[in-house]
Amino acid sequence: MNDLHRAEMADQELADAMDKLVIIKSAIYTSGERDPREPPPRQDTTGRLHLMGHDPRLPKMPNSPTLFDFFNLRFGPAIHMLQSARLALKNGCDAKVILACLLHDCSAAGFIRADHGYWAAQLIAPYVDEEVSFAVRYHQVLRFYPDESFGYKYPDSYIRLFGPNYKPEPYLDRAYEYCRNHKWYGTARLLTVNDLYSFDPNIHVELEEFTDIVGRNFRAPAEGLGFDNSPSAHMWRTINWPTRYL
């Protein structure tokens, strides 16, 4: 069997699997594109079952998935996080800052963009030192507020993305004040300093460069992420199986 034939067989298997399944999108995937007050569009579900496990369109995750499995199979190109972690390493930051850099945008990469610092912090909180999840939570906030003493300026990219008149919401002002006066402000600020604004497509960074730091500082559950009954296990399961009906 040649490669083309194999690809055609895989396409056919996927098409057959899809014919047997009803796959629904959660409201959050479509809210805005459609009015969330309206009932979801009706589908003809005759003779088909609602998906309750693995989505055949996605690469299958191992039964006990690790953090790196999520990086490889569920997070979009993670090169931005990898390059940020590499920069923190090069700048001589400690393991907490390097780990925070490696994980900081995991929500934007594989889960939810809005309030991505908060979601990412919640995802990782059961497995990392509290200082790491604090930094990840507040990096989103601190990015809007310059601090010359760390050499951190308001990002040019934010002027391009949000326009020159964008003002952070009042909740961000309050969160910034809280973080500014916190004993771990410096850790969160160092994350923003190493959070690259533009990344270099020519610099390749392997996840394996951080195997040791992750091994020492991320408490990987034996059951796999999603199956350990931690306060964020359900969130990892949703990333693994994002389209289950229930």
| Chain residues in the site for Fe ion (CB under 5 A) | 105, 195
Residue 105 vs 129, nearer CB to Fe ion:
105
Shortest Å, Cβ 61 to Fe ion: 24
| CB environment 111-121: b (16+ within 10 A), e (fewer) | beeebbbbbbb
**Residue 114 identity (one-letter amino acid):** A
Contacts of 116 (CB under 8 A, 6+ apart): 105, 107, 108, 140
Residue 133 vs 243, nearer CB to Fe ion:
133
Segments in the chain forming alpha helices (H): 3-19, 27-30, 67-73, 79-90, 95-103, 106-110, 116-124, 130-142, 156-162, 170-180, 185-194, 211-217, 233-240
Shortest Å, Cβ 200 to Fe ion: 14
Structure tokens at 45: 């579900």
Shortest Å, Cβ 69 to Fe ion: 21
Shortest Å, Cβ 118 to Fe ion: 11
Residue 171 vs 245, nearer CB to Fe ion:
171
Residue 192 vs 232, nearer CB to Fe ion:
192
